[in-house]
Amino acid sequence: MERRFEITEEIMRNAESYLGLNEKEAIVRTVLPGCVKRIYDYDYEKGEYLTAADDLPTTMPMYGEDTAFKSRVVMGTVLHFYLGLDIGEDLSISPALYDQYAGSHVLNQIERFKANPEFKSKAFDLLADIRDFEKRLNCAVYSLLQMKNDVGGRVLNALGVMMSQEALENVIRATNEAQQGMQAEQQKQDAFIDSLEAGE
């Protein structure tokens, strides 16, 4: 059985109870793309979700939150930026590492320091700032999902996928030819009117 991680008094003493606004925003911007993933359409005949291999290019993709990635990022942020632990360069820690620390109930351990007079204020501040970081990340994920799942944008993307470069060129060529035909017809009508006026 893997040894349980324990937040010692020394770790709490050296912990950061506040992460600067710019640091929070920088972390959110860095990890945001990974917190959103494509949700594939459900094929009711097969009784399964379409995958990248068999998904039709004409479908309009929907996006959802990648909760596992987001949980790993939040845990990585708590461990690295707040508790000062060396977890490597990647905040999106591995699932195994996440389970190790989450199974040790890191946030509950911090919560229990509220009963210790020396660390009571720091525990309150630390937990409040972690919640502030999570709120910022949640708001950013929500905004990105709203943008990606916008119906108008999805329709335009689907049309772009359906129309190959050749088809697009054909549409442009046909439009130009139609415009030229209309101009030629207008010139004929103008010439005819001019000839009538000249005959008067």
What does the pLDDT look like over 119-159, one tens digit per residue? 999 999 999 999 999 999 999 999 999 988 887 666 666 56
Residue 34: count other Cβ atoms within 10 Å of its Cβ: 14
Q: What percent of the chain has pLDDT over 70?
A: 77
Mean pLDDT of 48-68: 67
Residue 56 reports pLDDT greater than 60: no
Burial (CB < 10 A; 0-12, 13-18, 19+), residue 106, is buried
Higher pLDDT, 178 or 157: 178
Select the more confidently predicted residue: 166 or 123: 123
Instruction: Place 57 in a pLDDT band, splitting at 50, 70 and 90.
Output: very low
Kindly report the backbone phi and psi dihedral angles of residue 39, in degrees, each rounded to the nearest multiple of 5, phi listed first.
-105, 120
pTM of this structure = 0.69
pLDDT, position 67: 93
Residues for the chain: how many in total? 200
Q: How far apart are CA 33 and CA 6, in angstroms?
A: 32
Q: Is the pLDDT of residue 53 over 70?
A: no
pLDDT at 107 exceeding the cut of 80: yes
DSSP, collapsed to helix, strand or coil, labels residue 116 as coil
CB neighbours of 136 closer than 8 A, spacing ≥ 6? 24, 25, 28
Cα-Cα-Cα-Cα dihedral sign, residues 18, 20, 26, 28: positive
